[in-house]
DNA sequence: TCCTTTTAGTTTACCGTTATACCAATAATA
DNA sequence: TATTATTGGTATAACGGTAAACTAAAAGGA
């Protein structure tokens, strides 16, 4: 409530002197005056108006974290946050931003809205974007000079700052593990491999593992669909109905994989004896499943920290050329494969 | 980038005329001039600087959503978001705020920080707080006249705007269901009932159901602990070791309940035959569990909407006296009880 | 003692926007 | 024809803060 001018009046000094005390520029202020002002600041419960400060400095200390997606008109249909992956990531990002002195603004946005509504309007100091982003949007960020860190985006990597996981390697490890277990008819369940992205990279790793082990891929081994628990269960139905027989499945995400296992068991198949399943992410819900899910673990909390650290390097100018960082993965063997 | 002054120069008018066009105060501007300015606004891709605007208007359109808690120094230890309850709630809150023209700022904060760091500093227009909040903090919000909506807080309800779930009724329904299934030795697993809150209310409902069915409560039936999956599993261990035998358990939350079931099964007990289990929340992960979890369903997305709607009523002045709203619950019978 | 430096401030200007008051030219009215 | 309203603007000040330039008095040095 109290502004710097009122404090100045109370302390019988100019507002500039108060500003110097607030900003700890003590060379300009005598011990006496400083003490007096500080006492008044506490008494009046003064806090600076950040709008005024930001207007001057043109910096907001706000970082926008966003997941571009077609915005549903029905919040019941937006199941993104049902996947604990997002929760763990946003938790880590908020934590690390807070530590670095920034504020997190979160918003689901459509591609167009990213620009018009938020980056420019709010003078956010930086942006963290999760998932696929259209190329036009990516280039615009360059023009307006707001640092952007992309997470899990593969297009135009060489021009952007980005964090990705060893997706190809993960797909390879998962498939190789199944092969080592003696499996030979290995299907893959993914979201969509039409565009280069997380799913297609994991698929590439899967294909490499097959190839290196002289297993020829069959088109019928590929299942694409929405990466949800429910869809995983539907896929299981398909797999049982199809004539093609499988002895193993590599599934794009843990959530989907748990759906697959649930579905397989409902059709009387045993996991891993009849069909072994490997997931991807290493979420705690893999342990809720029976059998517990064998999966490719990525450290999501570390991923969030990498993104924030990189963004902070951009903001303080200590990183000038673009950086592409990769998060390692490892196989987490439980019971489903 | 372009400010109102530059637009004014280009259009050869005063900046006030531009401002009037931007704010659609067309009475002050001729059709001609208006068209010219609007064209330039589009060409220059003008967007207003919200800091300047907010500095003038003293309103930010930012709503702070916060979960007060002891902030861990290690993000790996903050498991709040592992519970899909939070994801679904934040999704709904963001959706409804966006629809109403507000921005969501999210932050984990300690009680003290709520005040000093955010509400005053940022001139957030309103606050949504989830969970227990100390009384001192609650009263301070009154002084600074920022509308606040509390979710899942029970202390001083009559003075605040708040949303709670029918927790007592939920506890009653769950316990009654177990009794109807012929169970008589019914334990309860909760977080902590020491203070009045969600957990204690659910406990009250549990006690009421026992009483109405002439079942006398035994102190050994109460288990308190951290509401996580892991703790649920530990509780199961205790339950098996204790001499007291149970034939049913009412568990405070789904996440905890799934842990309990997992633990019980690992000790060779059958669910629901040996011990029936009822959870609370109605999360999708209840279906991942085997057997699928019988639970008390609350519509979390509706809860978020209720909170935002109430806050918006406060902001536009259409709700003057404090409102206490309650979200209904219903029993969702699956297989675990 | 005179000149220079340091200390402890003050004054001014500006960030981008908008509310308010003011004004000039034209149109309407008596 | 003189007066009043209307139209279509402009000028000024203010929101709260900070950077930069300036200044008066005290202290230090030769």
Strand C: positions under 7 A of a protein C-beta atom = 7-12, 14-21
Quick check: A53 CB within 7 A of strand D? Answer: yes
- Nucleotide D19's nearest residue (CA vs C1') is A56
Residues B187 and B117 placed together within one structural domain of the fold: no
Cβ atoms A275, A249 nearer than 8 A? yes
Interface probe for B, chosen from A89, A103, A271 (most Cβ of B below 10 Å), is A103
- Ranges A25-39, A119-133, B96-110, most confident: A25-39
Task: Please check whether residue A92 lies inside any domain of the structure.
Answer: yes
CB contact under 8 A, B95 and A78: yes
State which residues form the domain around A37.
Answer: 4-48
Residues B180 and B142 placed together within one structural domain of the fold: no
Residues B199 and B212 placed together within one structural domain of the fold: yes
Residues B93 and B184 placed together within one structural domain of the fold: no
Q: Can you give the pLDDT at residue B118?
A: 63
Per-residue confidence at B63, pLDDT binned at 50, 70, 90? very high
Residues B195 and B84 placed together within one structural domain of the fold: no
Taking contacts as CB-CB distances below 8 angstroms, the residues of chain A near B279 are none
Residues B183 and B259 placed together within one structural domain of the fold: yes
B26 contact A CB<8A: no
Q: Closest Cα partner for B266 from A287, A62, A82?
A: A287
Looking at the predicted structure, is the pLDDT value of residue B72 above 90?
Answer: no
Alpha-carbon span A32 to A28, nearest angstrom: 12
State how far the alpha carbon of A204 is from the alpha carbons of A167, A179, A193, A201, B193, in Å.
9, 16, 9, 5, 52
Looking at the predicted structure, is the pLDDT value of residue A117 above 70?
Answer: no
Task: Please check whether residue A220 lies inside any domain of the structure.
Answer: yes
Task: Please check whether residue A272 lies inside any domain of the structure.
Answer: yes
Query: Scanning every residue of chain B, which has its alpha carbon at the shortest distance from the alpha carbon of A1?
Result: B120
Residues A92 and A239 placed together within one structural domain of the fold: no
CB contact under 8 A, A51 and B49: no
Looking at the predicted structure, is the pLDDT value of residue A64 above 70?
Answer: yes
Q: Can you give the pLDDT at residue A39?
A: 96
pLDDT tens-digit profile of A178-199?
Answer: 999 999 999 999 998 988 999 9
Task: Please check whether residue B150 lies inside any domain of the structure.
Answer: yes
Alpha helices by DSSP H, listed for B106-253, are 111-113, 120-122, 135-144, 167-180, 198-212, 229-241
pLDDT > 90 fraction of chain A, expressed in percent and rounded: 61
Question: C-alpha angle A94/A95/A97, rounded to 5°?
Answer: 65
Task: Please check whether residue A334 lies inside any domain of the structure.
Answer: no
Query: Scanning every residue of chain A, which has its alpha carbon at the shortest distance from the alpha carbon of B47?
Result: A121
Mean pLDDT (chain B, rounded): 90
Task: Please check whether residue B231 lies inside any domain of the structure.
Answer: yes
**What six digits make up the tokens of B117?**
């760091």
Per-residue confidence at A175, pLDDT binned at 50, 70, 90? very high
Residues A293 and A308 placed together within one structural domain of the fold: no
State how far the alpha carbon of A239 is from the alpha carbons of A60, A181, A187, A242, A244, in Å.
52, 20, 9, 5, 8
Residues B172 and B156 placed together within one structural domain of the fold: no
Please give the nucleotide, over all strands, whose C1' is closest to the CA of residue B28.
D8
Q: How far is the CA of A97 from the C1' of C16 (A)?
A: 28
Residues A217 and A263 placed together within one structural domain of the fold: yes
Task: Please check whether residue A251 lies inside any domain of the structure.
Answer: yes
Residues A183 and A271 placed together within one structural domain of the fold: yes
Residues A272 and A171 placed together within one structural domain of the fold: yes
Looking at the predicted structure, is the pLDDT value of residue A16 above 90?
Answer: yes
Q: What is the pLDDT averaged over residues A81-94?
A: 90
Strand D: positions under 7 A of a protein C-beta atom = 7-12, 14-20
- Residues having Cβ less than 7 A from any atom in strand C: A 13-17, 20, 27-34, 52, 55-56, 58; B 3-5, 15-16, 19, 22-23, 48-49, 52-53, 55-57
Alpha-carbon span B141 to B114, nearest angstrom: 10
Residue A44 φ/ψ, nearest 5 degrees: -85, 0
Looking at the predicted structure, is the pLDDT value of residue A116 above 90?
Answer: no
CATH code assigned at A225: 3.40.50.2300
Query: Scanning every residue of chain B, which has its alpha carbon at the shortest distance from the alpha carbon of A83?
Result: B84
Task: Please check whether residue A234 lies inside any domain of the structure.
Answer: yes
B212 contact A CB<8A: no
Q: Can you give the pLDDT at residue B223?
A: 93
**Domains: count for chain A:** 3
DSSP secondary structure letters along B204-235: HHHHHHHHHTT----GGGEEE---SHHHHHHH
In chain B, residues 39-68 whose CB comes closer than 8 Å to chain A: 45, 47-52, 54-55, 60, 62
């Amino acid at each position: 409530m109290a502004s710097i001018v009122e404090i100045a009046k109370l302390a019988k000094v100019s507002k500039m002197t108060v500003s110097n005390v607030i900003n700890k520029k003590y060379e300009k202020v005598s011990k006496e005056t400083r003490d007096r002002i500080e006492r008044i600041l506490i008494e009046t419960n003064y806090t600076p108006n950040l709008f005024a400060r930001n207007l001057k400095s043109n910096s907001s200390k706000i970082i926008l974290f966003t997941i571009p997606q077609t915005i549903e008109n029905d919040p019941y249909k937006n199941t993104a946050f049902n996947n604990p992956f997002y929760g763990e990531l946003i938790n880590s990002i908020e934590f690390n931003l807070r530590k670095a002195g920034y504020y997190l603004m979160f918003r689901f946005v459509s591609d167009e809205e990213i620009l018009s509504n938020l980056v420019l309007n709010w003078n956010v100091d930086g942006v963290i974007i999760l998932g696929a982003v259209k190329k036009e949007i990516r280039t615009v960020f360059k023009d307006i000079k707001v640092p952007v860190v992309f997470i899990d985006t593969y297009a135009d990597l060489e021009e952007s700052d980005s964090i990705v996981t060893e997706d190809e390697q993960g797909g390879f490890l998962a498939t190789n593990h199944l092969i080592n277990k003696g499996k030979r008819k290995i299907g893959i369940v993914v979201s969509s491999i039409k565009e280069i992205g997380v799913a297609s990279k994991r698929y590439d790793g899967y294909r490499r593992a097959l190839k290196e082990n002289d297993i020829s891929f069959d088109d019928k081994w590929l299942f694409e669909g929405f990466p949800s628990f429910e869809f995983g269960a539907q896929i299981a139905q398909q797999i049982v109905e199809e004539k093609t027989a499988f002895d193993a499945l590599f599934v794009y995400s843990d959530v989907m994989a748990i759906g697959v296992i649930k579905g397989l068991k409902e059709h009387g198949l045993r996991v891993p004896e009849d069909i072994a399943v490997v997931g991807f992410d290493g979420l705690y819900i893999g342990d809720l499943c029976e059998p517990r899910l064998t999966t490719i673990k990525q450290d999501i909390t570390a991923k969030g920290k990498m993104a924030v650290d990189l963004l902070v390097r951009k903001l303080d100018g200590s990183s000038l050329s673009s950086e592409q960082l990769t998060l390692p993965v490892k196989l987490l063997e439980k019971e489903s494969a």
